[in-house]
């Protein structure tokens, strides 16, 4: 137990009863009452039990429940002396594990380390400093290390740790890191388990997912067996550029301007490098391949070679002068259409084996500006990215001159895109995905009518440096000196230590087998790996984490008029707004918005309508760093796009506040006359701001009025039909203001402490307010809307035994309408209340921790917090 206490119970299940009898035999306590975070027990009997605990001060405490120093027989409570105290960490000790055979003990802490100790195998000896001696401290995690286990595989001992950074690390018995991998999709890893027979590692985290990973290939040898070195055989010649020509052939250029190729065969013979004799040796700046065609470029010169797979022979298609300067890029738009550029920004569109000029353009007057990526959108237009960070739309006219239509500046800052991929195209729009040497993907939209380029959205990925996109699901890039393959659906699927992103490398993905070649220290290495960690008898893939990896704070529903399934718009502590479409009791992820730089506390939706239907929805969201984000969601598609982001801290005097107070809630009303939006934004410093915003001018935000309620607001709701703005606070007060904020209509003390849950319902006559507080009570308040007088206030104080965090009001259909409420609290119990008869009954439990809210959708309860749980209401 928390304060160095041990409860000894005796459980008797007589006559196979459903519930047996449980008797408390003893409450054993230690003389040290410090808060414990983890405990390991050792002993074959209670008299020989040894308790090893870690406390909040970074100490290891050892004691035994025999020879008490104080006892109380009537209360069955005994106090035992502390036998040994060791300083272990500079923070909380989160986990303890030991192996007596290996004489090893491991502890982890929030100081981002795990510590190995030599443990005397005879724990029944005298307890002093000779019992446990420190061996080493291991640092490999970037956040708190929450768990570690000692695993034995074969005749070797390993330590496996998991942390808040979502990484698992495998260590040797001497403290050397053997393997590191991102697991659980970025969520904190709470517990680990290891099967010493199959070498499978099981992990669970804050999302509730249980994932498995086979460590057999990692634990067999310190080095990965699949890395193969490809020797040149020459002492003074080495390869400087290397590419896959196809799945079985590699092409390369050497420092002596020679071209070589190697055929990868499945025989026991060592593959050798063979010279491409027809290659005209010259210093090349570019080596690129596509569909068995090799293109090389140098100073003014371009060469095209074709490769015949069956014969293994090369044929020269073209060799000649094309540009004035040093050619820095060659891009295959199609099999017969190419784009080249030199250091001066001169670009040529070439066609066919004869390299006929189809068009030309100069993209910059500055030197060292060339094309970094290109994609053909339609036969008459393509999009290019320049080294200076500009995205350009170029069209092909009837003449040989290419026309620059649009420029989108600084999509990835001052760096050019490395990857441009066409996602989708229809008659009106084309959607292109862009990636660069950063950790963010961006989606741009091209209007095919007026050629307008707009940035729709961005997505952060766990790669510091994106280099390639073999499929729409898989990204390849670099984290420090590791090459990493990451999947949207399956997380990290490959991590290879190769030396970093500056290395010359290439890949080939075929039937979920990824081949990597790279140059390191003038030598070529080949690595082959089956993706998704296939293993007999285990889950072959880690299925995509569809939900938030941190706590979800809010969910709103997008209803559709065409009988289509509704959408869920959710946001939480992972800084992400997720849009998902319901599918029965499940849902399918559709889009994500990564506009927030800190936690998202609250969001509301506002429809933009035509005369007959909703065209799209505006998403207003607030959170940490005083940030207000406004985004756009079109259900037909669906397509999510970013509109603007604002920092809300302006005061009534026109000056900005010194601190960026967290924004707690937002509500929106729209003027029926000019379409102006009135935004009510509540911040943690007690300020309630009324702001004006226009869709036509998204970057402008005007302060209309501000009030200070002197308490942190928690929830806020604007009722336009009643000219009423409701605000709940941390001191249990409910405020009612006019929509203009100039006049306070009422102030009610509903709870003794914070109002942590809040729901309203108007039945046509009265306003029903249901509130739940930290005082473990629920209140149902009925207000007469004409004069704001309280007609009734009912208190439920015996339902839950913990803070109430989620409420939902439901008005039954039929002639006799009854208001029901669904409630949930930190005790995880779910109740249904009849607010007319005041009767209530428990309908179930939730498995989620930190419940934040309840939704009632299609006769199902959607309970959200650290996870999402759906409970059918049939017969409830």
544-561 pLDDT, tens digit per residue, is: 567 888 899 999 999 877
Q: What's residue 266's pLDDT?
A: 64
Q: Taking a C-beta distance cutoff of 8 angstroms, is the pair 406, 361 a contact?
A: no
Percent of the chain surpassing pLDDT 70: 93
Q: What's residue 19's pLDDT?
A: 61
Q: What's residue 223's pLDDT?
A: 46
pLDDT digits (tens, 9 = 90+) for 816-849: 778 999 999 999 999 999 998 999 999 999 988 8
Percent of the chain surpassing pLDDT 90: 59
Q: Give CA–CA dist 772/730, Å, rounded.
A: 12
Q: What's residue 14's pLDDT?
A: 59
Q: What's residue 821's pLDDT?
A: 94
Among 173, 201, 220, the domain-final residue is 220
Q: Give CA–CA dist 54/98, Å, rounded.
A: 13
Q: Give CA–CA dist 389/369, Å, rounded.
A: 10
- Decide if 463 is inside a domain: no
Q: Give CA–CA dist 854/821, Å, rounded.
A: 10
Q: Where does residue 194 rank: exposed (0-12), middle (13-18), buried (19+ CB within 10 A)?
A: buried
Q: CA-CA distances (angstroms) from residue 742 to 102, 553, 690, 785? A: 73, 30, 11, 18
Q: What's residue 536's pLDDT?
A: 43
Among 195, 220, 245, the domain-final residue is 220
Q: What is the CATH number of the domain that holds 795?
A: 2.130.10.10
Read off the pLDDT band of 490 (50, 70, 90). confident
DSSP three-state, residue 218: helix
Distant-in-sequence, close-in-space partners of 28: CB < 8 Å, separation ≥ 6: 5, 6, 7, 8, 65, 78, 80
Range in 78-87, 216-225, 622-631, 721-730 the model is least confident about: 216-225
State the residue for tokens 């690129």.
Answer: 288
Report, as an integer, the average pLDDT of 531-539: 53
Q: What's residue 222's pLDDT?
A: 46
Q: What's residue 335's pLDDT?
A: 92
Q: Does the pLDDT value for residue 340 go beyond 60?
A: yes
Read off the pLDDT band of 399 (50, 70, 90). low
Q: What's residue 660's pLDDT?
A: 85
- Decide if 77 is inside a domain: yes
Q: Where does residue 435 rank: exposed (0-12), middle (13-18), buried (19+ CB within 10 A)?
A: buried
Higher pLDDT, 123 or 788: 788
Q: Give CA–CA dist 524/279, Å, rounded.
A: 21
Q: What is the pTM of this model?
A: 0.82
Q: What's residue 267's pLDDT?
A: 58
pLDDT digits (tens, 9 = 90+) for 123-160: 666 677 678 899 999 999 999 999 999 999 988 999 99
Q: Does the pLDDT value for residue 66 go beyond 60?
A: yes
Give the largest Cα separation in the chain, rounded: 102
Among 185, 220, 255, the domain-final residue is 220
Q: What's residue 811's pLDDT?
A: 87
- Decide if 210 is inside a domain: yes
Give the pairing of strands 371-378 and 381-386: antiparallel
Q: Does the pLDDT value for residue 540 go beyond 50?
A: no
- Decide if 159 is inside a domain: yes
The three-state DSSP-derived secondary structure of 123-168 is CCCCCCCCCEEEEEEEECCCCCEEEEEEEEECCEEEEEEEECCCEE
Q: Taking a C-beta distance cutoff of 8 angstroms, is the pair 727, 737 a contact?
A: yes
Look at the chain and report how many structural domains it folds into. Answer: 2
Residues β-bridged to residue 457: 443
Report, as an integer, the average pLDDT of 241-267: 89
Q: What's residue 488's pLDDT?
A: 83
Q: Taking a C-beta distance cutoff of 8 angstroms, is the pair 262, 230 a contact?
A: yes
Could you count the other beta carbons within 10 Å of the beta carbon of residue 122? 9
Distant-in-sequence, close-in-space partners of 681: CB < 8 Å, separation ≥ 6: 622, 628, 648, 663, 665, 666, 688, 689, 691
Tell me whether the omega of the peptide bond preceding residue 626 falls within 30 degrees of 0, making it cis. Answer: no
- Decide if 854 is inside a domain: yes
pLDDT digits (tens, 9 = 90+) for 171-230: 999 999 888 888 888 889 999 999 999 999 999 888 777 888 888 878 876 444 456 677
Domain with 33, as residue range(s), is 5-220
- Decide if 53 is inside a domain: yes
Q: Give CA–CA dist 518/841, Å, rounded.
A: 65
Q: Give CA–CA dist 788/745, Å, rounded.
A: 7
Q: Does the pLDDT value for residue 542 go beyond 50?
A: no
- Decide if 689 is inside a domain: no
- Decide if 66 is inside a domain: yes
pLDDT digits (tens, 9 = 90+) for 716-732: 999 988 999 999 999 99
Q: Does the pLDDT value for residue 440 go beyond 70?
A: yes
Report, as an integer, the average pLDDT of 384-404: 87
């Amino acid at each position: 137990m928390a304060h160095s206490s041990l409860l000894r119970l005796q459980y008797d299940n007589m006559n196979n009863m459903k519930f047996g009898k449980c008797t408390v035999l003893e409450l054993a306590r230690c003389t040290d009452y410090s808060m414990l975070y983890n405990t390991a027990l050792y002993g074959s009997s209670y008299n020989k039990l040894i308790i090893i605990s870690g406390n909040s001060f970074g100490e290891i405490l050892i004691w035994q429940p025999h020879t008490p120093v104080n006892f109380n027989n009537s209360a069955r409570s005994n106090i035992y002396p502390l036998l040994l105290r060791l300083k272990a960490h500079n923070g909380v000790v989160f986990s303890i594990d030991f192996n007596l055979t290996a004489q090893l003990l491991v502890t982890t802490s929030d100081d981002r380390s795990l510590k190995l100790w030599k443990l005397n195998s005879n724990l029944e000896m005298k307890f002093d400093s000779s019992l446990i001696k420190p061996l080493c401290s291991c640092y490999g995690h970037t956040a708190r290390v929450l768990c570690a286990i000692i695993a034995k595989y074969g005749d070797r001992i390993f330590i496996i740790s998991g942390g808040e950074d979502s990484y698992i690390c495998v260590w040797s018995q001497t403290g050397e890191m053997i393997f590191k991998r991102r697991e659980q999709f970025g969520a904190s890893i709470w517990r680990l388990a290891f099967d010493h027979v199959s070498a499978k590692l099981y992990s669970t985290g804050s999302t509730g997912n249980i994932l498995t990973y086979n460590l057999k290939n990692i634990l067999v040898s310190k080095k990965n067996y699949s890395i193969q070195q490809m020797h040149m055989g020459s002492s003074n010649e080495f390869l400087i550029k290397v590419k896959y020509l196809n799945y079985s052939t590699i092409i390369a250029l050497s420092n002596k301007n020679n071209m070589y190729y190697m055929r990868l065969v499945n025989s026991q013979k060592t593959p050798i490098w063979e010279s491409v004799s027809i290659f005209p040796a010259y210093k090349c700046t570019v080596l690129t391949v596509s569909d068995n065609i090799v293109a090389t470029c140098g100073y003014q010169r371009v060469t095209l070679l074709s490769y015949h797979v069956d014969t293994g022979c090369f044929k020269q298609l073209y060799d000649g002068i094309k540009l004035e300067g040093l050619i820095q890029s060659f891009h295959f738009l199609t099999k017969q259409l190419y784009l080249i550029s030199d250091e001066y920004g001169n670009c040529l569109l070439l066609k066919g084996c004869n390299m006929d000029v189809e068009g030309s353009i100069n993209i910059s007057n500055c030197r060292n500006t060339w094309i970094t990526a290109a994609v053909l959108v339609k036969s008459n237009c393509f999009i290019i990215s320049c080294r200076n960070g500009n995205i350009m739309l170029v069209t092909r006219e009837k003449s040989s001159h290419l026309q620059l239509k649009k420029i989108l500046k600084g999509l990835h800052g001052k760096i050019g895109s490395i990857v441009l991929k066409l996602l989708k195209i229809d008659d009106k729009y084309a959607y292109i995905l862009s990636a660069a040497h950063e950790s963010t993907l961006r989606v741009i939209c091209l209007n095919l009518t007026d050629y307008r380029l707009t940035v729709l959205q961005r997505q952060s990925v766990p790669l510091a440096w994106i280099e390639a996109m073999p499929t729409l699901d898989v990204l390849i890039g670099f984290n420090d000196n590791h090459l990493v393959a990451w999947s949207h659906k399956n997380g990290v699927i490959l991590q290879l230590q190769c030396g970093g992103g500056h290395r010359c490398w290439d890949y080939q993905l075929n039937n979920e087998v990824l081949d990597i070649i790279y140059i390191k220290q003038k030598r070529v290495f080949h690595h082959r790996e089956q993706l998704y960690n296939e293993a007999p008898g285990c889950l072959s893939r880690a299925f995509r984490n569809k939900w938030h990896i941190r706590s979800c704070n809010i969910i709103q529903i997008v209803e559709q008029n065409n009988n289509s399934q509704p959408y869920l718009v959710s946001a939480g502590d992972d800084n992400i707004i997720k849009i998902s479409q319901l599918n029965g009791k499940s849902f399918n992820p559709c889009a994500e918005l990564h506009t927030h730089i800190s936690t998202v506390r609250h969001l509301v939706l506002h429809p933009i309508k035509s005369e007959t239907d909703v065209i799209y929805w505006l998403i207003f969201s607030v959170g940490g760093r005083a940030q207000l984000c406004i985004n756009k969601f079109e259900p037909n598609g669906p397509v999510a796009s970013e509109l603007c982001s604002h920092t809300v801290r302006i005061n009534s005097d026109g000056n900005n506040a010194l601190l960026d107070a967290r924004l707690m809630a937002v509500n929106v009303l729209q003027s029926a006359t000019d379409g102006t939006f009135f935004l009510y934004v509540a911040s943690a410093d007690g300020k309630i701001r009324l702001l004006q915003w226009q869709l036509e001018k998204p970057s402008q935000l005007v302060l209309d009025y501000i009030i200070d309620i002197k308490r942190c607001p928690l929830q806020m709701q604007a009722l336009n039909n009643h000219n009423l703005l409701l605000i709940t606070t941390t001191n249990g007060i409910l405020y009612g203001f006019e929509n203009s904020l100039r006049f306070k209509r009422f102030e009610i003390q509903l709870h003794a402490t914070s109002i942590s849950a809040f729901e309203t319902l108007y039945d046509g006559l009265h306003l029903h307010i249901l509130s739940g507080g930290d005082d473990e009570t629920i209140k149902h308040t009925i207000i007469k809307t004409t004069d704001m007088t309280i007609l009734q206030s009912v208190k439920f104080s015996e339902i839950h035994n913990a803070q109430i965090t989620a409420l939902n009001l439901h008005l039954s259909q039929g002639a006799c309408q009854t208001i029901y409420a669904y409630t949930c609290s930190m005790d995880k119990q779910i109740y249904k209340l009849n607010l007319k008869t005041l009767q209530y009954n428990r309908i179930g439990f939730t498995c989620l921790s930190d419940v934040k809210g309840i939704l009632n959708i299609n006769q199902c309860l959607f309970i959200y917090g650290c996870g999402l749980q759906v409970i059918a209401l049939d017969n409830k």
